[in-house]
């Protein structure tokens, strides 16, 4: 774990909008828990230019972890499904210049491994300038320990942004199933970022397999809000 204490930072900064998240309404009764691969194949079929951009990606779809006692299944539960609500969204990360072309997917019915997903209306979501980011899935080696993983991520951040990471924490591990192999991932949270670095990490991501939802960072609540109450 990387964690060097420092004073709080404010980020009075206007985020650029040349890379955005495009957030679609969607309708689907059920989706496979391990849907990253079939979702990416369906979307790339309609938007083949996505693979031309290293930073472009497709967020995995997430629903509430609990609903009347229902808990999200684990990765190794065969045939496990998710139950999207009306508020569940489909999100892809694209260059702003491709917004109109990406809109062509609206109204399409995607076949996600036998489960239907109807793509609804879309809106733009510009990156938020925050000091704490997290990604649910960042590629790691099968037996990579925490320190090795964090050191490798710190080096990649420094290469891409010139920033020396002071606070970084990895969390749960997940597997992403593809026809050829299972990919191994870890949660990653990065804190105490300055303005330019926060935006660059959101724009560029870390690691590979963006089309499977890996290395795509989102804003996180302040670390201080995560401390347990007395």
Residue 133's nearest CA partner among 218, 11, 9, 195 is: 218
Ordered domains of the chain (ranges, CATH): 2-12+129-226 (3.30.70.1210), 19-125 (3.30.70.1890)
Q: List, in sequence order, the alpha helices (H) in the chain.
A: 36-46, 99-102, 146-161, 195-204
Residue 121, CA atoms < 13 Å, CB-side half-sphere: 3
pLDDT at residue 89, as a whole number: 96
Report the predicted TM-score, pTM, of the whole model to 2 decimal places: 0.84
Task: Round to whole Å and give the CA distance between 169 and 148.
Answer: 12
- Contacts (Cβ under 8 Å, ≥6 apart) of 212: 36, 37, 40, 58, 60, 137, 176, 178, 183
Query: Which of 47, 103, 50, 48 lies closest to 210, judged by CA?
Result: 50
Give the model's pLDDT for residue 159: 95
Fill in the DSSP letter of residue 200: H
Of 178, 217, 177, the closest CA to residue 199 belongs to: 217
CA 62 – CA 95 distance, rounded (Å) = 23
42 near 113, Cβ under 8 Å? no
Burial of 9 from C-beta contacts in 10 A (0-12 / 13-18 / 19+):
exposed
159 token code pair:
């290469």
Q: What pLDDT tens digit does each residue of the chain (230 aa) get?
A: 555 544 444 445 556 678 999 999 999 999 999 999 999 999 999 999 999 999 999 999 988 654 444 445 555 555 788 999 999 999 999 999 999 999 999 999 999 999 999 999 999 998 988 899 999 999 999 889 999 999 999 999 999 999 999 899 998 899 998 998 899 999 999 999 998 899 999 999 999 999 999 999 999 865 443 333 33
Q: Strand, coil or helix: what is 167?
A: strand
pLDDT score for 220: 83
């Amino acid at each position: 774990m990387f964690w060097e204490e420092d004073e709080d930072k404010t980020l009075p900064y206007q985020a650029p909008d040349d890379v955005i998240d495009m957030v679609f309404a969607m309708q689907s009764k059920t989706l496979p828990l391990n849907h990253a691969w079939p979702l990416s194949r369906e979307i790339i079929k309609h938007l083949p230019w996505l693979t031309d951009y290293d930073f472009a990606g497709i967020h995995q779809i997430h629903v509430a972890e609990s609903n009347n006692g229902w808990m999200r299944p684990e990765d190794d539960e065969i045939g496990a499904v998710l139950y999207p609500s009306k508020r569940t969204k489909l999100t892809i990360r694209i260059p702003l210049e491709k917004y109109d072309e990406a809109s062509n997917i609206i109204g399409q019915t995607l076949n996600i491994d036998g489960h239907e997903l109807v793509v609804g209306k879309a809106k733009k979501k510009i990156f938020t300038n925050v000091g704490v980011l997290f990604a649910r899935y960042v590629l790691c080696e099968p037996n990579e320990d925490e320190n090795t993983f964090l050191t490798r991520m710190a080096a990649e951040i420094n290469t891409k942004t010139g920033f020396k990471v002071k606070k970084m924490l990895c969390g749960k591990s997940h597997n992403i199933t593809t026809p050829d192999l299972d990919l191994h991932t870890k949660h990653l949270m990065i804190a105490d970022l300055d303005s330019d670095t926060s935006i660059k990490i959101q724009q560029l991501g870390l690691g590979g397999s963006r089309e499977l939802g890996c290395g795509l960072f989102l804003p996180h609540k302040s670390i201080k809000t995560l401390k347990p109450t007395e």
